[in-house]
Amino acid sequence: MPRGGWIPIAPGATAGYRVGVPAPVDAKRAHAVGVQRLLESYRAVPAGAPIRLAKPTSNLFRARADNTVTGLDTSGLTGVIAVDAETRTADVAGMCTYENLVAATLQSGLAPLVVPQLKTITLGGAVTGLGIESTSFRNGLPHESVLEMDILTGAGEVLTASPHEHADLFRAFPNSYGTLGYAVRLRIDLEPVQPFVALSHVRFHSLLDLVGAMQDILETGRFDGDRVDYLDGVVFSAAESYLCLGRKTSAPGPVSDYTGQQIYYRSIRHDNGVTDDRLTVHDYLWRWDTDWFWCSEAFGAQNPQIRRLWPRRYRRSSVYGNLMKYEQRFHIGDRIEKIRGRPPRERVVQDIEVPIGRCAEFLQWFLDTVPITPIWLCPLRLQGENSWPLYPIRPHQSYVNVGFWSTVPVGATEGATNRLIERRVRELDGHKSLYSDSYYSREEFDELYGADSYRTVKNTYDPDSRLLDLYAKAVQRR
C-alpha cells in the first residue's frame, strides 16, 4: 500500500490529494470553484422558489409530477478530492459516482465500506437515500461510514455536519432524499481489499435453511469454518435459492469475466451443493451492473445474438435505465400489451427490509402472491449503538434487504401490488426504501419515517421550505 505523498487518481476521477497533508492547489481550487458555482446557482433562484439539483443521472424510480423546478449546478462536485491510505479515509465530492470513487481507492488497495451495486449511484445519493451491498452484513449502510460532511442547506448555507457538530442534521440526513440539504463533501472511512474475491455459490432447497444459514453467518462471520467477507443471495423459487459467499484473497489464479458473453446471475445456478468462482475485486464490486442484475433481459441484452452486437461499453445499468425511462415516457410496453390483448403493467421496483426472523415468511408470501422472480437478498446489521431517525431500523437487529424489480398486470386500483407489499412489510415490522413508488397515507408515512425528528430538523435548516418535503417527494412524486 502506498505510504506518504500524493496519490494520483485514476482516469475518469478528479485528481486528488491526501487527507491531512497539503493538497495540490488545483485539487483544492477545483473543489472550491465547484462549491462556489453551486452557491451561485442557488442564489440565482428567485426568493421563495423551490430548489432541486440538476443531475445528469438518477437511480430513482419514481416519476415526478413537476419537472419545472430550477436545478442547481453540481458540475464541479463530481470528483474524488482525496484518498489517505494511512488513515484509510477519503474526501469525496457529493456528486461523485461510486464508479469513480472505487477507481481511485482501489489504487491504494482500499474500498468504501459499502459499495452499492450500480456504477452511477453517487456517494451523496447513497448517504441521503440509503444504499446496500454484500458487505452490509458487517458494515451496515453507506451513511455509517461517514465521518463528516459539508451540506448545502435549504437556507443556502454550507455547514459541516458530524456526530459532534450540527449532529441533529448529521443524524437526520440519511433517508432524507435531498429534502434537508445536499452533500457537497463527505469524508468517509475505507477498508482494505485484496486483488481477488473467491466466491462460493451455495444451493438451498428450503427457504428456512437459506435464512438459517444467513443467520449463522451474521453471528459468526463464517460458513463451514471459512471466513465470509461478502454475502448476498438470490431466490429463483421456494425450492431453488442461493447464498453467494465471497472471501478476500491475494492468491493468483484464473478469473471469470461477466462483462462479455457470460452472465453473472446465470453462473450462480446449479443442481446441488456448492460451486466456486473467482473475480478480480473490481469485477466483483460491479458484478451486478453489467446486466442491471437480471433486468437487461427486458431489452434483449441477454439474447446471445443481440449480446454479441451490443457494445461492451453499453452493457451497464445507466444505459438500461435510460432505455427504461424512454419506454415509460412513451408507454411502449403498455402499447405492446394492448396489441396483444393484455392489460397494462404496474411497475414493482422495490427494496424492503424485514427482520431476519420474518424473512422466510415474507419470501414465501411474496412467491405465492407476486409473480416476480428472481429476488435479491442482502443481509444487514447496523454498526454499533447508533440508530437513524428517518429510517428507524434497530441496532443489534439483523435484517434482510429483499429486492424485486419488474412489472405485473395492473390491478383494480392504482399501485395495487405495491400497496399490498407495503401492508405486508409493515405487518412484519419491516421498512421500505423510498427510491421508487410509494403509496402511504400521510399518517402511515409519518409513523414509519420519523416525522417528529424530521420536522424539527427541517424547521431548523430549511425554515422557508426551499427544499421539497419528504412526503411530497417520496409519495406525491413532486
The per-residue pLDDT for 332 is 77
**Which grid coordinates are listed for 340?**
396483444
For 64-120, the pLDDT digits (tens) are 555 555 689 999 999 999 999 999 999 999 999 999 999 999 999 999 999 999 999
CATH architecture group of domain 331-439: 2-Layer Sandwich (3.30)
Domain 25-192 - what CATH class?
A: alpha beta
Cα separation, 40 vs 15, whole angstroms:
24
Label each residue of 37-66 as H, E or C: HHHHHHHHCCCCCCCEEECCCCCCECCCCC
The residue ranges of every structural domain in the chain are: 25-192, 331-439
| Cβ-contact 134, 244 below 8 angstroms | yes
Strand 89-93, strand 158-161: pairing: unpaired
Cα separation, 82 vs 303, whole angstroms:
42
Cα separation, 471 vs 30, whole angstroms:
35
| Cβ-contact 351, 403 below 8 angstroms | yes
Burial of 419 (0-12, 13-18, 19+ CB in 10 A): middle
Q: Which residue positions in the chain have pLDDT lower than 50? A: 1-23
The per-residue pLDDT for 67 is 54
Residue 70's contacts (CB-CB under 8 Å, 6 or more residues apart) are 44, 45, 49, 51, 52
Task: Establish whether domains 25-192 and 331-439 are of one fold.
Answer: no
Cα separation, 408 vs 350, whole angstroms:
13
Total-model pTM: 0.91
The per-residue pLDDT for 342 is 79
**Which grid coordinates are listed for 473?**
417527494
Task: Give 22-28 contacts, CB < 8 A, sequence gap 24+.
Answer: 23/81, 23/82, 27/81, 27/82
Cα separation, 272 vs 265, whole angstroms:
16
CA distances from 316 to 101, 126, 131, 306 (A): 17, 19, 18, 15
* Residue in the structure block whose three cell numbers are 472550491: 32
- 246 pairs with which residues across the strands? 199, 230
Residue 155's contacts (CB-CB under 8 Å, 6 or more residues apart) are 461, 462, 463, 464, 466
**Which grid coordinates are listed for 62?**
419514481
